[in-house]
Amino acid sequence: MDKLILRELHFIARHGVLPIEHENSQHFSATLELELPLAAAGQHDRLDETIDYCAVQAVVRQIIEGSHRKLIETLAESVAAALLQAFPLLVAVTVEILKPRPPVDFQFAGVAVRIRRARPSAAS
């Protein structure tokens, strides 16, 4: 299946289980792999035969900058479900949510979760 990939969309939001994460905003990023047929768009050079990535970003922004979630797993599930609902051409989506600097007392490069969700008829 063809893929349209949006890498490292950046957001500032408040998500997490720690009290400080309710009080202070932190950085998040999302990388998306949108699985859909792209041949027609590539051959005809028509936006209506693909997915407008500005519209995708708006859906993701609404979720990540929206109401508080405790887990990035929940953010990823919410993003995947919203994208599958909003874009009928979308067959499946892989969502990676990264929290690069969680407020913990040890150093590491961040924490991420990656999920793939598909329409029931496309689950493979």
The burial of 35, by beta-carbon neighbours within 10 Å (0-12 exposed, 13-18 middle, 19 or more buried), is given as: buried
- CATH number for the domain spanning 22: value is 3.30.1130.10
What residue numbers bound the domain in which 37 lies?
A: 3-122
Amino acid code (one letter) for 54: C
Catalytic one of 15, 69, 99, 117: 99
What's the pLDDT score for residue 123?
A: 55
Question: Is 99 an active-site residue?
Answer: yes
Residue entry with tokens 């407008």? 52
pLDDT value, residue 120: 85
83 phi, psi to nearest 5 deg: -65, -45
Query: Mean pLDDT for the chain?
Result: 94
- Model-level pTM greater than 0.75? yes
Give the tens place of pLDDT for each residue, 15-71: 999 888 889 999 999 999 999 999 999 999 999 999 999 999 999 999 999 999 999
Number of separate domains in the chain? 1
